[in-house]
Amino acid sequence: MKKDIILKVDNIYKSFGPTKALTNVSTEVRYGEIHGLIGENGSGKSTLSSIIVGAQNADSGEMYFDGKYYEPKDILDANNNQINMIVQEQGTVKDVTVMANVFVGKESLFSKFGILNLDKMYRETKKILDSIGVNHIDPKAMINSLSFEDRKLVEIARAMYNRPKLLIVDETTTVLDKKGRDILYDIMDDMRSKGKSIIFISHDIDELIAMCDAVTILRDGNITGRLSKKKMEANKIKQLMIGREISDNFYRQDSEGTSSDEIAIEVNDVSYGVLKNVFLKLNKGEILGIGGLTQSGMHELGKIMFGLIKPYTGDVKVGDSVDITTPHKAIDNKIGYVSKNRDTEALMTAASIKDNICLPSLDKLEKWGIIGKNVEKKLVNTWTNKLSIKMSSISQFCMYLSGGNKQKVSIAKWLANGSEIMIVDCPTRGIDVGVKSDIYDLMYDLKTQNKSILMISEELPELIGMSDRIIIFKDGQISGEFVRNEELKESDLINYMI
């Protein structure tokens, strides 16, 4: 092993049943290097990381770390080798304090004669939080009272307490706000300057290019490329990820907004929370983009239109007479809703792909109170094929799917039910370019079938790229409206948002 290499993984294989998650994976990370790991959802990034950090074993292959053969028994063993990982999911322990989370498994450091010295634990936690630039979190606070972002910072503190020689950061920056991201970037820079190493996993190609000294690219569990800083270029990386050229513009290509004159759904005088007397109409065959800041009320609007939230005033109408007052009525009237919070609201992650897709259609699948298994299977196969959902089988639990494939399932369940109106909230959040482009194609397809889409989005290029018309919300009111045209720029929209 070359002297400047801290980690070498060699010829790693890993399968889950029929899914080949990693095939012949070999790569190297240098001392003092931020090494990017990129690939579409499901390409094997988290699997490789979890093998390095001892959370699971490879089926075959070898690893070398810090000059020695390395075969971690478990996470603790990896930690003892000074390898730590910030996981993609929530990694904190519930129902205990921040400091208990930082020192989970290390309580003995603070215990004497079986009694925990909480003051010392408090001081040490404060010290480690301060050292990474976090001073707004109280070590004594209960972890559940913290936002998802702050909990991630606690995880980072826990990892840094171990003084890792190798830190793996798995898609953490997407869930952090600007401040959190800066904290993490500082830590990474600092580690690099001390000759330590980072494996950095991110969807954001620009961020990756800015941060990393080298990058390894995975596609379907195979390494398709390793690029040094000099050779890193966004289109090159995308091509290696996708295996086909993706043009910069994967949005629809027509330049004019079109729709039928017929109204699909209308919102009349709706007030709720910050929303004040909102009126809007969505036409058949229209993609209506809704933009604004997170707090502008636009996310609540989506829930109101699906009957999940009852507005203080006003109503939501389909046709002349039907008021959408409950999700049940929404579903009966062929409305589908894809929540921004995919894992908690859009999907039952602890249920199979089949059960998720069939859920809205159960009434229809039932005959004399019995659900025909074959009918069910046929429906699910049709939609998993149409949306090219990557899975081991339709019985696979959704929690094991990648973000992009989860999103496809949460869209498929409404299409399987024949929805005519789709309300989608941040439909491509945290999803990589390949699946993104599939979802845009699908949306455009639905439009050409005269279906209607209300797309709530925080991404301006997506609003401009996909909408026939865009409505901007500011402080709960409509502040601007734009019809699709070639001149429309992001700054035009931003002016109406703030």
List the Cα angle 272/277/278 in 5-degree steps. Answer: 90
Residue located via tokens 């053969």: 69
Minimum Å gap between C-beta 47 and Mg ion is 8
Contact string (CB under 5 A) for Mg ion, positions 61-90, x = contact: ---------------------------x--
- Report residue 451 as tokens: 């279906």
Contact string (CB under 5 A) for Mg ion, positions 398-437, x = contact: ----------------------------------------
Minimum Å gap between C-beta 246 and ligand ADP is 18
Comparing CB distances to Mg ion, the nearer of 124 and 432 is 432
- Report residue 133 as tokens: 């630039």
Q: Does 173 bind Mg ion (CB under 5 A)?
A: no
**Among positions 6, 27, 39, 87, the unique one binding ligand ADP when judged by CB under 6 A:** 39
Which residues, including other chains, have CB under 8 Å from residue 367's CB and lie 6 or more apart? none
- Report residue 340 as tokens: 């921004």
**Among positions 19, 27, 43, 46, the unique one binding Mg ion when judged by CB under 5 A:** 46
Q: Does 436 bind ligand ADP (CB under 6 A)?
A: no
- Report residue 322 as tokens: 């039907």
Kindly tell me the burial class for residue 282, based on how many C-beta atoms sit within 10 Å of its own C-beta (0-12, 13-18, 19 or more).
Answer: buried
List the single partner that 21 binds among ligand ADP, Mg ion, none, CB under 5 to 8 Å by kind.
Answer: ligand ADP
Residue located via tokens 């869930």: 175
Contact string (CB under 6 A) for ligand ADP, positions 396-435, x = contact: ----xxx---------------------------------
Which residues, including other chains, have CB under 8 Å from residue 326's CB and lie 6 or more apart? 307
Comparing CB distances to Mg ion, the nearer of 45 and 484 is 45
Neighbours of 73 (CB within 10 A): 10
**Among positions 6, 7, 28, 46, the unique one binding ligand ADP when judged by CB under 6 A:** 46
List the single partner that 283 binds among ligand ADP, Mg ion, none, CB under 5 to 8 Å by kind.
Answer: none
Minimum Å gap between C-beta 130 and ligand ADP is 32
* φ and ψ at residue 417, rounded to 5 degrees: -90, 5
List the single partner that 401 binds among Mg ion, ligand ADP, none, CB under 5 to 8 Å by kind.
Answer: ligand ADP
Minimum Å gap between C-beta 430 and ligand ADP is 11
List the Cα angle 443/38/49 in 5-degree steps. Answer: 120
List the single partner that 125 binds among ligand ADP, Mg ion, none, CB under 5 to 8 Å by kind.
Answer: none
Q: Which string of b and e fits 326-338 if b means at least 16 CB within 10 Å?
A: eeebbbebbbbbb
Comparing CB distances to Mg ion, the nearer of 336 and 404 is 404
| Beta strands, E only, 202-356 | 214-219, 222-228, 263-272, 275-283, 287-292, 313-318, 322-323, 335-338
Neighbours of 357 (CB within 10 A): 30
Neighbours of 315 (CB within 10 A): 16
Q: Does 19 bind ligand ADP (CB under 6 A)?
A: yes
Minimum Å gap between C-beta 60 and ligand ADP is 16
CA-wise closest residue to 42 among 59, 56, 22? 22
Q: Does 91 bind ligand ADP (CB under 6 A)?
A: no
Q: Does 172 bind ligand ADP (CB under 6 A)?
A: no
Minimum Å gap between C-beta 68 and ligand ADP is 26
Bridging pattern class, strands 322-323 and 166-170: unpaired
Q: Which residue is nearest to Mg ion (CB)?
A: 46
CB 390 within 8 A of CB 402: yes
Stretch that binds ligand ADP, among 15-23, 272-280, 358-366, 452-460 (CB under 6 A): 15-23
CB 54 within 8 A of CB 71: no
Comparing CB distances to ligand ADP, the nearer of 303 and 390 is 390
Residues near ligand ADP (CB under 6 A), total: 15
The partner residues of 367 in beta bridges, in order of sequence, read 370
Comparing CB distances to ligand ADP, the nearer of 42 and 72 is 42
The C-alpha R_g of the chain, in whole angstroms, comes to 25
List the single partner that 291 binds among Mg ion, ligand ADP, none, CB under 5 to 8 Å by kind.
Answer: none
Comparing CB distances to Mg ion, the nearer of 7 and 48 is 48
Which residues 347-376 are close enough to bind Mg ion by CB under 5 A? Answer: none
Q: Interface with ligand ADP by CB under 6 A: which residues?
A: 16, 19, 21, 39, 41-47, 390, 400-402
Binding residues for Mg ion, rule: CB under 5 A, are: 45-46, 88
